[in-house]
Structure 1
Amino acid sequence: MSEVLLQNRRIVVDGRPRLLLAGEVHYFRLARADWADRLDRLRECGADTVATYVPWLWHELPDGTVDLTGRTHEQRDLAGFLDLAHERGLHAVVRPGPFIMAEVKNEGIPYRVYDEHPHLLPSTWDGAPIATRTVDYLAPEFLAAADGWYAEVMPVIAERLAGRGGPVIAVQLDNEIGMLSWVTNSPDLTDLLCEDLRRWAVDRYGKDAAAERIGADPGDPAAWAAALRTPAEARSLSVHDDLGRYMRDRYRRYVAELRASAERHGVRGVPFLINVHGTGGGRGQSFPIGISQLFESYRGLPQVTSGSDYYLGDLTVTNVADLYVGNAFLAAVHDADQPLTSLEFEAGNGDYGEDLSTLYPPEAVELKTRLCVAQGNRLLNLYLFAGGHNPPLAEPVGDGNDRIAFTGERHGFAAPVGPEGRLNPTFDAAKRALHAVRGVADLLADSDEEDDGLALGFVPDHYLTEYHHPASSSRAEQVADLERFRGMGPRDVLARALLLAGYSFPAVDLQSAGPTSGVIALASATTLGRDVQQRLVDHLHGGGGLLLHGVLPERDHDGTPCTLLADALGLSVTGRVEGGPHYFPSVIGHGWAAGRPEVRVGYAQHLAGTNARPILTEIGSNEPCAVEVTCGAGRAVVVAADVPCDLAFWRGALDRLGVRPRLDPRADGPGLVLTSTVDRTGQRLLHLVNVAPSAVTVTLSWHGTPVLDGRAIRVPARTGLILPYGIRVGDATLVETTCEVAWTDGDSIGVRPTQGDDVVVLATERPVTTSRGTVTTADGRVTVRLPAGPADDPVRITLG
C-alpha cells in the first residue's frame, strides 16, 4: 500500500520523491485483447504510469444504468483495465470528467443531461444562445447529475487507490474548465449566473459601488442581467473586469463541489489534479489565460495541483520561451507544496486530421521533455500515447456516424502508437527521451531548478481577456494592448532574449502579497493594476531591480487612471511613434549601449525624466525611449521600444542591474537553453537543450570556474544533454563529465558518451575500472577517458 502526497513541490510516494513518466491510453477505444500490448509498449518506452479519461457518455446506458466493469461491452471495463495496468507494474492517473473533451461528443456529457435540462445550455452576450454544448457549471441540476456520475465511477477508482494497494496515484477533476466559453468568446450569462454575480459584486464592493461598476441597480434583476449581457460602453472595462474575476471564483466553487463529491464517494489519500488549457497554433502566448481562469481553483488547497496542456508542436527558437514561461507562470501561482505536472504533453507527429497537412519532427518530444524536467515537472503524461477506434454509441442519435466521437471510426492518428498498433517515428524519440530522463529520475524527482537572481513578472490580471463584448471598442483596444505587450514582451523578445542569453529564471506572481527580491523583468502594457504598480514601487524602494519592457502603465484594469509606477520612477510619456508601411522608427544606443548600429523598431514611446539616463533614443525625434533610473535604493532599466532579440543588448541591461548568468556560456551560435537543477544535498545536473537547426559548441563556467577545464561541449542540432556536476556514486563523487547517466547501481554507474571523445572525473580513493577507455589517477581525482565507441552503448564504471 502506497501513500501519495504533494509535498515541497514534489510527488512523494511512500516517503520518496518520484518522477512519474506517463502515457495516455484510452481503454474505451481499444479491444480488450489490445490492452496488454499498449501497456507493454508504454513500459518499453520508459514510462511507469498510464493515464486515461473515463467518458461518462460511454459508460452510462440508455436505461440510466452505468457499466464500469464490462458487463455490456468489454471496452466499458474500466476496472479490468486498471487491474491490468497494476499487473503490468504501472501506476494510473484517472480522469473521469464530468467533461473530458478528447474529441468525444458533448465533451463526454450524456445526451440525456441536455434533453432533461435544456436550460443548462447557457445564454451569452446580448442574450444569444451559446455556440457550444457547455453548461452552467453551478446549476443545481448539473451538479446533481455530476454527483450521480461520481457516485458510480469514484467507488471503482477508490477500490484501486494506491493507499489500498492499487495503481491509482492521482485523479483529475473535470477537464479544461472554462475553455469552451473562452475560445468561443461566449461567457455563461444565465439568469442564475447573473443573480449569483450580483451577490458576489455586492459582497465585494457594496451595493452602490457595484451599481456604479456595472451600470445597473443590483436590486433590479432584469436591468442587472441586461447590463452584464450588453455592457454600456462607459462601463465596459469595469464590467469585463468583474466578469473575469467572478468567473475565477465560480470555477473555484465548482472544483470544490467536485472534490467534495469525489471524497464523499471514497476517493481520498491521492492528489487531485486540475488541468490548464490555453496553447494553440504551436504557441503558448495565450496559455496564461488558462492559468488566470483557474489558479484560484487550486492555489493553496492541500493535495491539489495544476497540470499543463501543452500543444506546441515542434520546439524551436520561436516557441521555446513559450514552454519555459508557461512552466514558470504555472509555478508562480503554486503554493509551497504544489509541484508542476503536465497532464497533456503532446507526443505525436501532429497529423491530427490524418490529412498530412502537418508533421512534427520526432525530436520535438525529446526537446520538450528535457526542458520540462529541468524546470521541475514531476509528472509528464504523453498525450496521446496510443490511438484506437471510437465505438458506436449505445443508442443512435442520427448525427452522421453515431459513434462516441466526431473523429470517425479511427482515433489518435498522430500518436506514437497508432490505432492498429503501428509505431510511428515519434515512438523511438519518446523512448530516447524517457530513458535519458530515467537514468537520473531519482535526482530529478528531488531537485529544484536554480536561477540567476532574476524573476519574470507574472500578472494574472493581464490575461483576463477571455471575454470581450463584440460591440465594445474600449474593450477591444484594451485587449489589443495587453496582447501586444504582456507576458513575454513585445514580439516575445524579453523572455526569448533572457532564455537564449543563458539565464534561467522563475516567475513571480506580482499580485500576491509578500516581499520580493533580486531583479524583476516585467513586460508591461498600458494597463497594470494599482496593487501591482505599488508592489513594484515598494520593490524598488527596498533595493530591488526592475527591467521593464513595453510601455509605461497608465491605468488600472477597470480603466481608472493609475501612474503610480511612472511617478515613482520620475518618468512621463511625451509621445509615441508607430511604424507603418512608409515610416520606420529607428533607435540608437548611448552609454553602455553605444557603438551598436541603429536598429529599426516597431514602436518607440518617448520618455522624459530629470534623473533618467538615456540608453536608446528614437532617431526621428532624438527623444529617449529607453532609460536607466534610480528609484529609492533600487534601480530600473526601462525599455519602451520593441528592440530586437539582440542578446548582447539584453545582457548589457541585466549587467547594469547586477545579474550575471551562473553558467556564463560562450557559444558559437544561438539556440542553446541552459539551466541547472540541484537537490537538497547539493547534487547538481546541468541541462543543455539545443533547439537550433544546427549544432552548437559551448564552453561553460560555473560562477567563474571553468567546467571541464574549459573544454568545449558540442550539442548536436535538435537534441540535449543532462550532465552530472557533482553527484554521488557510492562513497565517491562524480565531479563532472561529458556523459549522461544511463543508470546507477551501488558502486557502479553506467554512462552514455555524448562527444565521441568523452571524459569522466571522479573524486575517490578507491580503484576504478571501466568497461571501455582508460583510467588515470592524480591527487585524489580519477579521470576516465572514453574514445569513440558504439553508439548508444553505455560504459560501466566500477569502484573497486
Structure 2
Amino acid sequence: MIEITRKQIRIDGRPVLILCGEIHYYRLRREEWQDRIDKLILSGCNAVASYVPWLCHEETEGEIDLEGKTRPELDLAGFIDLCRDNGLYFFLRPGPFIMAEMKNEGLPYWIYRKHPEIIPLGWDGRPATTKTADYLAYGFLIETRRWYEAVMAVAAPRLQPNGGNIIAIQLDNEIGMLSWVSNGPDLTERVMEDFASWLGDRYPAEALAQRYPFDPKDRDARRTAIRSPEEAYAPALHLDLGRYMRHRFSRYVDILRDYAEAYGAAGVPFVVNIHGTGGGRGFTYPIGISQLYESYEGKPGVISGSDIYFGDLNMDTFQDLYLINGFMDAVHDADQPLTSVEFNCGDGNFGETYGSRYDPSAADLKMRMCVAQGNRLVNYYLFAGGRNGVLDQRPGDGNDRVAFTGERHGFAAPVGPDGDLNYTFPRMARGIGAVMAVSEKLAVMDEERDAVSFAFIPDYYMTESRYPGSAIMKEIYDDLEANRAHWSWETLARAMLLAGYRFGAVDIQNKPLRADAVPALALLSAKYMDGEVQRKLAEYLREGGKVLLYGEVPLYDMEGRPCRVLADALGLRFLREHRESPHYYPSVLTEGWAAPRPEVRTLFAQTFEAAAGTETVFRLYGSGEACGFDLAVGRGRAIVLTARYRTDIALYRTALERLGAKPGLTHDCAHHGIFMTSMRSPMGERFIHLLNLDGLDKTFRLYEDGTPLFGGRELTLGSRDGVMLPVNVTFNGVNIRCSSAEITSVEPNAIAFRLTQARDWIELETARVIAESDDYRVERADAFYRVWSNKHAKVDDRLTVRFEG
C-alpha cells in the first residue's frame, strides 16, 4: 500500500525517498535492458521510470502490442518485471501525450486522421502550430479510454499493492504546455460551447451581459467574439478564459484517473507533471503551476511533479530552483509532497554540438537543493539514451522514425545511446549515494523555515495566451512579467537566500493569509493586482502582518480598472512613473535606516506622496520624489520599495529584520555564493545542507541564531561542492552529534563518510566501542567522542569508522 500523508510517500507504512532514472525500453534492444538497469543500480537509484508511447504500441488502429509480438523491445510487462527482478520500483508514464521528442508528441497518426475535429483552432481561427488536441473532445477520450484499458491490463497486476513494483502512475504529460508555447488556446467549437456554459454557471445573466457585448450562447456571435476579442472586453476574456482552462484541465485529469481506476489502478498515487522552465531558467515555470494547480490541489491520491530543465546550479539560477519548489508547495495541501518527475541530468549536449556543456556538479547540486526542500521523488531525465526505430507505416517526413532527433536519442544522458557513461555520471552517482545512505532519515524530514514567506499569486502567471491584437493585454502582461520574476528574483529572492533566509511560499490568492501563520511576507507586486487580493493584504497588515513589498504598488485590478485598495491602506498617493531612456538615467538615494549607501542607478521607479509619519528610505536624485517607505498599517508594518534596486544583501536583510524576520543560519564568508538550509525530523534529527555555487573553495564559520556551530571551527567547502552535515542523527546506537564529513553508507558495525576537510572531525555519542584504526584518532570530550581523521580530503576522501560488537 502506498500512502501520501504529511508530505511523505509511505510504502507499506514506511516513509521512503524515491530516486528514479528514466530508461526508455522502447528505444533499446531487449538484450540491452539489463545493461542499462545495471548502470542505474550502479548510480544508486532505487527506481526506473518510463513513458509508454502510444505511437509505438498501436501504430495501426486496433492492433495494440504491449507484449513485444511485433518488436521485442515493446514488451512493457517484460521490462517492468525485469526492473522488479532487480529490486527496483517502477514509475509508469502512459500518456496519452508523452512528448519525449516523439512525433505527434507520442500519439498515433491515425488518431488525427480519424478525428480531425480534435485539432484545435486558436486566435483568429488559426490552426494550432503544435501537435496538440482538444483534451475533452469525445473522439479523443474514446480512443484514450481504450488505450488506458490496454495499459492498465499490464499495469494493474504489477502495482505495488498487488505485489508488484509500480509505485506511481503519471496522467498525461505537460498538460496545456503545447498551447502555451504557441500562444494558441484551444478554441474549437466544442471548447467554446463548453466555455459558454462555464460562464453561465459563473456569472448571473445580468452580470454576464454587462461583461460581454455578445451572447456567449450564440454560436455564430461567440465564434468571432472569442477568437478575435475586441479591446473593450479583452482583459475580462483573458481572465475568464484562463480560469476556465484551469477548470478544463482539472476535468481532463479527473477523467484520466477515472479511466485508470476503472481498469484496476488503485492504491498508488497519480502524478500531474508541471512544465515551464525554459532557456535554463525558471522565470516562466509558475505558468505551469498556474495552469494546472486545480488539477491536483487538495485531491487525495494525486501529487504534482516538476520538470526541472536548468543547466548548472550557480549564482544565476539557484534562487529560481528554490522559488519553484516553494511555489509548488504553496498550492499543495498538508499531505502532498514535492516531487520532480523530469529532473534534467547529463552534460547538456542535446544537439550533439558539444554546446551547453554542464559542469559535473549540475545534477548533484540541483538534486541536493530539491531534497533539502522536501522532494520525496526525483526522476533523472533522461538517464539512458537509446535509438528511435523506423515506423512500419512510413510517413515520408525525412527520417520515417518515431521521433525527430534522428536515429540516436539522448546524446546528453549520463548513459549514452550506446551504453557509455559520460563524464557527469560519477558525480551524479556520488550525490545519489549520499542521499540514499540516509534516505530513511531524509524521508521524514522537513525544511526548517525562518519567519518569512514568499508570496505566490497564481493569476500573475496566467499569461499562457494573449490575443496578439490587444494593446491593453500587452500592457498588462508586460507589467506582470517585469515584476513577477526576472530582476525581482535576482535581487530580492537572491539576496534573501544569500543572507541565509530559509523560506517557503504562500498562495495569497486562494488560501488564508493570517498574521499568526505568516509573520512576514516578501511580496513581488505589479501595478495590476486583483482587488480581493489587495483587500486581503490590507486586512493582513491591519491585523499585525508584516510585508516587504518590492516592485510596484498596485493601482489597477487584473482587468485594468482603477483599484487602489492596497495603496490607500498604505497611505500612499501615486505621483508618477520614471523610466530610463537614452538620455535619462534615474538614480536612487537612500535615507533613514537605509543610509548611508551610494547613489544607485535604477531602470524604473514609481513615486508616491506618503501619509504623515511615514519614514522615507528611497528618493530619486534630482526630483526628490520618494520611492521607498517604512510605514505602519494598523497593528502591522510595511516596507515598500518601488524602485528597481541592486542585490544589496545587507539592505534586504535589514528590511526583513525590521519586520521581525531574522535568518537562522548565517556564515562569515565574504565571497557569498553559499546556499544554506536545514532539515529536521519529528525526533529532532537534522541535516544542514550547504552548496558552494562558485568555482573556488570557501572557508568560513557557520552560525545558528548568532551562535557559532561546531564549536566555532572553520569549514572549507570545495569548489562547486555540496554536503549534508548530520546533527544529532542516530544509527544503530551511535548518535552523530555533528560532523564535517558526509555520511555515505551505514552498516550495523560501521559508518562510512566522505571527507571534506584537511582534517575532518566527527563527534559521536555512543556506549559502543569505537574500533581503533590508523585512519583516525579518537579523543574523549566530556560525554562524547571526537574522531579526527588522519587523511586529507583532497588526497583520500573516504573514511570508515568501525564499532566493536
TM-score past 0.5 threshold: yes
Instruction: Tell me if the contact between 1:628 and 1:637 (Cα under 8 Å) persists in the aligned partners.
Output: yes
Distance 1:78 1:570, change over 3 A: same
2:626 is the counterpart of 1:628: no
Q: Per-residue deviation at 1:643?
A: 0.8
* CA distance in structure 2 between the partners assigned to 1:599 and 1:62 by the alignment: 65
Correspondence 1:198-277 to 2 at 5 A: 198-277=196-275
Describe the SS at the equivalent of 1:664: strand
Instruction: Tell me if the contact between 2:791 and 2:797 (Cα under 8 Å) persists in the aligned partners.
Output: no
* Cα deviation code 1:528-568 (max 9, x no counterpart): 11222122112212212101000001122122322111111
**For 1:753, which of 755, 765, 772 is the aligned residue?**
755
Q: Which residue of 1 aligns with 2:544?
A: 543
Q: Which residue of 2 aligns with 1:75?
A: 73
Q: Which residue of 2 aligns with 1:166?
A: 164
Q: Per-residue deviation at 1:489?
A: 5.6
Describe the SS at the equivalent of 2:273: strand
* CA distance in structure 2 between the partners assigned to 1:343 and 1:158 by the alignment: 21
Q: Per-residue deviation at 1:198?
A: 0.6
For structure 1, which segment, 379-388 or 435-444, has the greater mean C-alpha deviation from structure 2 after superposition?
435-444
For structure 1, which segment, 608-617 or 178-187, has the greater mean C-alpha deviation from structure 2 after superposition?
608-617
* CA distance in structure 2 between the partners assigned to 1:45 and 1:770 by the alignment: 31
Describe the SS at the equivalent of 2:677: strand
* CA distance in structure 2 between the partners assigned to 1:133 and 1:776 by the alignment: 67
* CA distance in structure 2 between the partners assigned to 1:799 and 1:687 by the alignment: 31
Instruction: Tell me if the contact between 1:491 and 1:642 (Cα under 8 Å) persists in the aligned partners.
Output: no
Q: Which residue of 2 aligns with 1:779?
A: 782
* Cα deviation code 1:50-98 (max 9, x no counterpart): 0000000100042521000111110110010001000111100010000
Q: Which residue of 2 aligns with 1:788?
A: 791
* Cα deviation code 1:774-793 (max 9, x no counterpart): 11113212111113245231
2:462 is the counterpart of 1:464: yes
Describe the SS at the equivalent of 2:395: coil
The percent of aligned pairs where both chains have the same amino acid is: 47
Q: Which residue of 2 aligns with 1:149?
A: 147
Q: Per-residue deviation at 1:699?
A: 1.1
For structure 1, which segment, 451-460 or 728-737, has the greater mean C-alpha deviation from structure 2 after superposition?
728-737
Q: Which residue of 2 aligns with 1:340?
A: 338
Instruction: Tell me if the contact between 2:739 and 2:763 (Cα under 8 Å) persists in the aligned partners.
Output: yes
* CA distance in structure 1 between the partners assigned to 2:710 and 2:790 by the alignment: 16
Question: Quick one: which amino acid aligns to residue 788 of structure 1?
Answer: K
Q: Which residue of 1 aligns with 2:704?
A: 702
For structure 1, which segment, 757-766 or 78-87, has the greater mean C-alpha deviation from structure 2 after superposition?
757-766
* CA distance in structure 1 between the partners assigned to 2:156 and 2:250 by the alignment: 24
2:324 is the counterpart of 1:322: no
Q: Per-residue deviation at 1:212?
A: 2.8
What 5-or-longer segments of structure 2 have no aligned partner? none
Instruction: Tell me if the contact between 2:527 and 2:552 (Cα under 8 Å) persists in the aligned partners.
Output: yes
Q: Per-residue deviation at 1:515?
A: 4.0
Q: Which residue of 2 aligns with 1:101?
A: 99
Q: Which residue of 2 aligns with 1:520?
A: 521
Instruction: Tell me if the contact between 2:605 and 2:644 (Cα under 8 Å) persists in the aligned partners.
Output: yes
* Cα deviation code 1:209-251 (max 9, x no counterpart): 2233333113422112321111110111111111100000000
For structure 1, which segment, 621-630 or 243-252, has the greater mean C-alpha deviation from structure 2 after superposition?
621-630
Instruction: Tell me if the contact between 1:764 and 1:780 (Cα under 8 Å) persists in the aligned partners.
Output: no
2:718 is the counterpart of 1:716: yes
Question: Quick one: which amino acid aligns to residue 778 of structure 2?
Answer: V
Q: Per-residue deviation at 1:766?
A: 4.6
* CA distance in structure 1 between the partners assigned to 2:234 and 2:609 by the alignment: 32
Give the total of aligned pairs: 798
Instruction: Tell me if the contact between 2:121 and 2:128 (Cα under 8 Å) persists in the aligned partners.
Output: yes
* CA distance in structure 2 between the partners assigned to 1:314 and 1:553 by the alignment: 35
Q: Per-residue deviation at 1:617?
A: 1.1
RMSD: 1.4
Question: Quick one: which amino acid aligns to residue 56 of structure 1?
Answer: W
Describe the SS at the equivalent of 1:252: helix
Instruction: Tell me if the contact between 2:49 and 2:379 (Cα under 8 Å) persists in the aligned partners.
Output: yes
* CA distance in structure 1 between the partners assigned to 2:213 and 2:449 by the alignment: 47
* CA distance in structure 1 between the partners assigned to 2:184 and 2:237 by the alignment: 15
Instruction: Tell me if the contact between 1:279 and 1:311 (Cα under 8 Å) persists in the aligned partners.
Output: yes
Question: Quick one: which amino acid aligns to residue 608 of structure 2?
Answer: L
* CA distance in structure 2 between the partners assigned to 1:212 and 1:187 by the alignment: 24
Distance 1:766 1:357, change over 3 A: closer
Q: Per-residue deviation at 1:624?
A: 1.5
Q: Which residue of 1 aligns with 2:476?
A: 478
* CA distance in structure 1 between the partners assigned to 2:719 and 2:741 by the alignment: 17
Instruction: Tell me if the contact between 1:770 and 1:795 (Cα under 8 Å) persists in the aligned partners.
Output: no
* CA distance in structure 2 between the partners assigned to 1:434 and 1:620 by the alignment: 56
Q: Per-residue deviation at 1:259?
A: 0.3
What 5-or-longer segments of structure 1 have no aligned partner? none
**For 2:642, which of 640, 643, 652 is the aligned residue?**
640
Q: TM-score, normalised by structure 2?
A: 0.97
2:649 is the counterpart of 1:650: no
Q: Which residue of 2 aligns with 1:111?
A: 109
* Cα deviation code 1:245-268 (max 9, x no counterpart): 000000000000000000001111
Q: Per-residue deviation at 1:663?
A: 1.2
Question: Quick one: which amino acid aligns to residue 713 of structure 2?
Answer: R
* CA distance in structure 2 between the partners assigned to 1:644 and 1:799 by the alignment: 57
* Cα deviation code 1:317-359 (max 9, x no counterpart): 1111111000000010011111110000000111111122321
Correspondence 1:514-663 to 2 at 5 A: 514-516=512-514, 517-610=518-611, 611-663=613-665
Describe the SS at the equivalent of 1:335: coil
Question: Quick one: which amino acid aligns to residue 549 of structure 1?
Answer: Y
Q: TM-score, normalised by structure 1?
A: 0.98
Describe the SS at the equivalent of 1:343: strand
Question: Quick one: which amino acid aligns to residue 159 of structure 1?
Answer: P
Distance 1:23 1:134, change over 3 A: same
Q: Per-residue deviation at 1:132?
A: 1.4
For structure 1, which segment, 198-207 or 772-781, has the greater mean C-alpha deviation from structure 2 after superposition?
772-781
Q: Which residue of 2 aligns with 1:688?
A: 690
2:287 is the counterpart of 1:289: yes
* CA distance in structure 2 between the partners assigned to 1:365 and 1:216 by the alignment: 52
* CA distance in structure 2 between the partners assigned to 1:40 and 1:129 by the alignment: 46
Instruction: Tell me if the contact between 2:446 and 2:679 (Cα under 8 Å) persists in the aligned partners.
Output: yes
Describe the SS at the equivalent of 1:757: coil
Instruction: Tell me if the contact between 1:765 and 1:780 (Cα under 8 Å) persists in the aligned partners.
Output: no
* CA distance in structure 1 between the partners assigned to 2:424 and 2:82 by the alignment: 25
* CA distance in structure 2 between the partners assigned to 1:764 and 1:322 by the alignment: 42
Instruction: Tell me if the contact between 1:169 and 1:270 (Cα under 8 Å) persists in the aligned partners.
Output: yes
Q: Per-residue deviation at 1:488?
A: 6.5
Instruction: Tell me if the contact between 2:384 and 2:410 (Cα under 8 Å) persists in the aligned partners.
Output: yes
* CA distance in structure 2 between the partners assigned to 1:759 and 1:724 by the alignment: 12
Describe the SS at the equivalent of 2:666: coil
Describe the SS at the equivalent of 2:191: helix
Q: Per-residue deviation at 1:597?
A: 1.1
Instruction: Tell me if the contact between 2:271 and 2:302 (Cα under 8 Å) persists in the aligned partners.
Output: yes
Q: Which residue of 2 aligns with 1:511?
A: 509
Q: Which residue of 1 aligns with 2:380?
A: 382
Instruction: Tell me if the contact between 2:733 and 2:768 (Cα under 8 Å) persists in the aligned partners.
Output: no
* CA distance in structure 2 between the partners assigned to 1:725 and 1:519 by the alignment: 28
Describe the SS at the equivalent of 1:726: strand
Q: Which residue of 2 aligns with 1:426?
A: 424
* CA distance in structure 1 between the partners assigned to 2:87 and 2:799 by the alignment: 25
* Cα deviation code 1:80-121 (max 9, x no counterpart): 000100011110001000000001100111111110111111
2:676 is the counterpart of 1:674: yes
